[in-house]
Amino acid sequence: MTAALSPAQVRAAIQQYLLDALPRPEAARRPELAEYARLLRDYPERGGKMLRGMLLVYTGLAYGAEFKQLLPIAAALELFQNWALIHDDIEDASDERRGKPALHKLVGMPLALNAGDALHARQWALLIEAGVSRAALLEFVRLVELTAQGQHLEMTWMEGQRFDLEEADYLEMVGQKAAYYTAVAPLRLGVLAAGLEPPAVLEEAGMKLGIGFQIMDDVLNLVGDPAKYGKEIAGDLWEGKRTLILLHFLQNASVDERTRAERLLCTPREQKPAAEVDWLHQRLLQSGAVAHAQQVAEGMLNEGLLLLEPVLLQAPRRDLGAVVLEVLQSLVRREA
């Protein structure tokens, strides 16, 4: 049966398992708790690609795990994604998420933060209730800690108005903040669910693929279709994010343009002139910085796939190992 599971079926099964684990407004004993349930379900019900959960499931199937073993772990990983996004949107003062206002824009920061905390607790509850191995629990600990560490790097750079950064700094930060939980952890968790020791190459390859994914997300933030992207176009500029695109531009800009760009990026979001944000947006496109980032992302993807292909095609279920490679390619070659 597992061989017949399409990506759409896997996505639907993960989302249903996740939603079933959350409180239902209609079951609440008072209106305030019905609202609480709605807040917990808000981001999960908005959907999403669930690429991380799918990557975990297909990797686990390729290594011999049963689908029913993998579902709670995949749902827990997607719960992590949801509570981390609520917190990330608060920390970045983001306006949009998945095509709608960010949760803190709808209900305020205190209630949104509380909902994120509750989802975090449910993440661990899913894992404990499913009786996952100690190794899988420790893998979740690692992905949470690394994500927080990378987020700390990014926030301190923005708060400290740091522009003495190089591309290597960005790659280190994004490897921790996004790449590990995007690709490394799903690959490792899939193998761990099968009761096996993950091959060492999964971390090296997964980091390359996860970094490529995040760089492409930075690209889409500037060139994406708003209807597909689901977040604010040029939001990274309004928020002052130190992306690979921005750092490449600053390193190659004239003194006057660099000064103008840094002045804008140091200005609080609510005080940034829209015309200046538009100017920087256009300069990033015209300067070749976006094209450079796309080239780096493609290089990371190809390097990661070259490392993974021989390992996944030697998995117990070679056919499902091939599906994992297809899912990984979609991480970077995407429009949203």
Residue 333 above 90 pLDDT?
A: no
Compute the distance between CA of residue 107 and CA of residue 52 in angstroms, rounded to an integer. Answer: 28
Q: Is the pLDDT of residue 164 over 80?
A: yes
Average pLDDT value for the chain: 93
Sign of CA dihedral 158, 160, 166, 169: negative
Please check the confidence at residue 110 and state whether its pLDDT lies above 80: yes
Start-end of H helices in the chain = 7-20, 31-45, 51-62, 67-92, 103-107, 109-130, 134-159, 167-174, 185-193, 201-223, 226-229, 235-239, 244-252, 255-265, 274-286, 289-312, 318-332
- With bands split at pLDDT 50, 70 and 90, how would you rate the model's confidence at 332? low
pLDDT-derived band at 1 (thresholds 50, 70, 90) equals very low
User: What are the pLDDT digits (tens) for 256-315?
Assistant: 999 999 999 999 988 999 999 999 999 999 999 999 999 999 999 999 999 999 999 999
H or E element at residue 100: strand 100-101
Instruction: Give residue 226's pLDDT.
Output: 77
Q: What is the pLDDT of residue 92?
A: 84
* pTM given for the model: 0.91
Mean pLDDT of 230-244: 88
Alpha-carbon distance of 114 to 116, in angstroms, equals 5
pLDDT of residue 292: 96
Q: Per residue in 26-58, is it b (16+ CB within 10 Å) or e — as a string?
A: eeeeeeeebebbbbbbbbbeeebbbbbbbbbbb
Report d(CA 133, CA 137) in Å as an integer.
6
pLDDT at 336 over 60: no
**Cα-flanking dihedrals φ and ψ of residue 161, to 5°?**
50, 50
Number of CB atoms found within 10 A of residue 164's CB:
7
Residue 304 tokens, joined: 């990661």
